[in-house]
């Protein structure tokens, strides 16, 4: 580790802190229907969309109606994206004459982009036509991210409203998130990436002559437009197979820095949106503080592990840390920081191959996702995941002092706690259940490329990434098979919708309650004590649930590495 490396990490985090409050304030104005500088441009489009869809923006929905609208919208997105992939060989904007996407891969990819997971069991530049990339994948990058924001708003309203039977209007929330938040910033980001050297063209691949005299096709396409929302919407689906390690998706050190900031921007801003909507900025900063501490611990640990490298290589006099699988343009610190950021959120974009991380480095990425990606998290999903853990934290605090727990003036009773636990427990059920099946079945074992604990890591990482709706891959697993396309697809559905439905039920129950005035026994939830309790609950729940699996995987691999055995 170097002083310059820590400066880069600090500079990144200071930038995130600086943009969190202004972005949160802007979103609060957007979703409360207040005037913003973009309303003159987008208000006619917004109201035109409502009229076209037959939506009355003044009519709100209860949690059941809100949830049904979200589920039907997601189903329609799945069907349309599946059809687009299956028919892409017959459709225009296919200059490389890509064939139709196979049935099982189209199924997996459709679920992946609808759930904001963006798991890719294919090479984008060799599988998807320009039309599929733009009309299918890029559009769903916007819509799935907007859906996540809308769901977070529903839970926030559960805390901010009193005696209300409704939690908002899904169609209004999603439309405003797309038009006023995701679209304008993505346009600016796309233009910046073009300036940095990212292609944005509908021309076919370029043929080049190599130094040996042979011919090589260099893939190009509408990359910048997909890149911007892939990052800002914490989607992660890359135009190229190498994702942000590809020089056309991440050409410079400046583009790499901006990509990392874009991944964290909305997750940080959502904490401030929460504070403003519940009427207490300190509540938003308390959640931000918990996320920040977990992020800095993870980033520091991963940076240390990669800088230390493999002791076997160090014994041979090879210093410089672990550079295997890393882009030399970015080096260890930017690779470690990017890996931490992308697994803290549900982004899944990568600028280094996680299969080549040291065992402890791989452990950090796994733990980040196993904790439900509450560390700034996906767009919306990070916030509502953290709020569910906050409910558990105040419930535990209430048990310790023998009184009914409260959070933001709302009594947390048996119904809310049970629904919260259903949401949280569906994640380990999917991760550990599917990992167990894959490790004892021939189709599962046929996909791994390494023996021993590292092979187990590849399987565990795949189902963790899918269930956490992250989408990054260890890059050592051959996942484009019927078995993995099917089971990973089901894991993505569980991770998204089995978590969301109980969460919406919690939002509905809370919105219908009145506020309890604070008293001497009220546990303050905007200070350091609550932040510490919240972090403790997150770590303990994750540790108790996943430690046995981690012991069989990265921990066993680390101990083997110290003993002189590598996989």
Report the DSSP pairing between strands 410-411 and 406-407. antiparallel
Q: Is residue 41 part of a domain?
A: yes
How far, in Å, CA of 190 to CA of 301, rounded? 32
Structural tokens at position 507: 């939002």
What is the mean pLDDT of the segment spanning 54-82?
94
Distance of alpha carbon 337 from its chain centroid, rounded? 15
Can you give the pLDDT at residue 295? 94
For residue 214, the model assigns a pLDDT of: 87
Is position 473 within any domain? no
With respect to residue 240, please indicate whether it lies within any of the assigned structural domains.
yes
Report, as an integer, the average pLDDT of 81-88. Answer: 96
Share of the chain above pLDDT 70, in %: 100
Q: Is residue 355 part of a domain?
A: no
Q: What is the per-residue pLDDT for 520? A: 73
In a domain, 211, yes or no: yes
Question: Domain residues for 33?
Answer: 22-278
What is residue 381's predicted lDDT score, i.e. its pLDDT?
83
Average pLDDT taken over every residue of the chain: 91
**Is 131 inside any structural domain?**
yes
Instruction: Tell whether the model's pLDDT for residue 185 goes beyond 80.
Output: yes
Question: Distance between CA 45 and CA 14 in Å, rounded?
Answer: 36
Cα-based distances in Å from 48 to 43, 54, 57, 214: 8, 10, 11, 54
> Alpha helix (H) ranges present in 244-319?
253-277, 281-308, 311-315
* CA atoms of 262 and 347, how far apart (whole Å): 10
Distance CA 422, CA 408 (A): 22
The residues facing 407 across adjacent strands are 410
Residue 336 contacts by C-beta under 8 Å, 6 or more apart in sequence?
299, 302, 303, 305, 306, 307, 361
pTM of the full predicted structure?
0.93
Per-residue pLDDT averaged across 392-420, rounded? 87
How confident is the model over 546-562, as pLDDT tens digits?
999 999 999 999 999 88
1 falls in which pLDDT band (50, 70, 90)? Answer: confident
Q: Which residue has the tokens 């039920």?
A: 505
Q: Kindly tell me if the per-residue pLDDT of 188 is higher than 90.
A: yes
Contact 376, 483 (CB under 8 A): no
DSSP secondary-structure letter at 542?
H
- For residue 185, is it within any domain? yes
C-alpha to C-alpha distance for 352 and 293, rounded to whole angstroms: 24
Instruction: Report whether pLDDT(65) > 80.
Output: yes
pLDDT, position 296: 94
What total number of domains does the chain contain?
Answer: 1
Please report whether residue 152 resides in a domain: yes
């Amino acid at each position: 580790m170097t002083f310059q490396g820590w400066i880069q990490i600090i500079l990144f985090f200071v930038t995130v802190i600086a943009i969190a409050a202004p972005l949160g304030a802007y979103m609060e104005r957007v979703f409360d229907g207040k005037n913003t500088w973009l309303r003159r441009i987008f208000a006619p489009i917004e109201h035109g969309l409502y009229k076209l869809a037959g939506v009355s923006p003044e009519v709100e929905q209860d949690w059941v109606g809100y949830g049904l609208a979200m589920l039907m919208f997601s189903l329609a997105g799945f069907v349309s994206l599946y059809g687009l992939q299956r028919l892409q060989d017959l459709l225009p904007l296919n200059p490389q004459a890509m064939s139709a996407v196979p049935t099982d891969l189209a199924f997996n990819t459709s679920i992946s982009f609808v759930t904001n997971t963006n798991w890719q069991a294919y090479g984008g530049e060799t599988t998807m036509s320009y039309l599929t990339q733009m009309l299918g994948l890029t559009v769903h990058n916007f819509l799935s991210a907007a859906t996540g924001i809308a769901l977070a708003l529903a839970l926030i309203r559960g805390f901010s409203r009193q005696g209300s039977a409704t939690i908002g209007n899904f169609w209004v929330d999603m439309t405003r998130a797309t038009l006023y938040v995701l679209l304008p910033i993505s346009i600016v980001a796309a233009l910046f990436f073009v300036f940095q050297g990212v292609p944005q063209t509908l021309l076919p691949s370029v043929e080049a002559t190599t130094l040996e005299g042979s011919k090589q096709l260099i893939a190009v396409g509408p990359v910048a437009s997909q890149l911007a929302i892939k990052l800002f919407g914490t989607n992660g689906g890359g135009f190229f197979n190498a994702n942000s390690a590809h020089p056309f998706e991440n050409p410079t050190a400046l583009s790499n820095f901006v990509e990392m900031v874009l991944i964290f921007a909305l997750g940080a801003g959502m904490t401030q949106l929460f504070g403003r909507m519940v009427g207490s900025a300190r509540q938003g900063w308390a959640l931000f503080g918990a996320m920040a501490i977990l992020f800095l611990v993870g980033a520091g640990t991963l940076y240390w592990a990669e800088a230390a490298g493999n002791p076997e290589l160090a014994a041979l006099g090879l210093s410089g840390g672990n550079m295997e699988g890393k882009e030399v343009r970015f080096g260890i610190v930017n690779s470690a920081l990017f890996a931490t950021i992308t697994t803290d959120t549900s982004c899944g974009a990568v600028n280094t191959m996680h299969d080549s991380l040291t065992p402890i480095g791989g452990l950090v990425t796994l733990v980040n996702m196993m904790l439900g990606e509450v560390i700034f998290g996906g767009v919306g999903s990070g916030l509502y995941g953290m709020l569910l853990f906050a409910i558990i934290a105040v419930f535990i605090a209430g048990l310790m002092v023998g009184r009914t727990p409260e959070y933001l003036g709302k009594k947390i009773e048996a119904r809310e706690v049970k629904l919260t636990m259903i949401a949280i427990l569906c994640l380990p059920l999917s991760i550990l259940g599917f990992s167990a099946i894959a490790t004892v079945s021939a189709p599962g074992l046929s996909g791994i490329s390494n023996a021993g604990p590292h092979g187990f890591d590849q399987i565990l990482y795949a189902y963790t990434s899918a269930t956490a709706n992250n989408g990054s891959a260890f890059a050592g697993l051959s996942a484009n098979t019927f078995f993995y396309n099917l089971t990973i697809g089901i894991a993505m559905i569980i991770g998204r919708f089995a978590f969301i439905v109980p969460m919406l039920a919690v939002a509905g129950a809370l919105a219908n309650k009145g506020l309890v005035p604070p008293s001497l026994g009220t546990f303050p939830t905007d200070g350091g004590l609550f932040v510490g309790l919240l972090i403790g609950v997150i770590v303990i729940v994750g540790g108790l649930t996943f430690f046995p699996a981690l012991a069989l995987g990265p921990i066993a691999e680390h101990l083997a590495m110290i003993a002189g055995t590598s996989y």
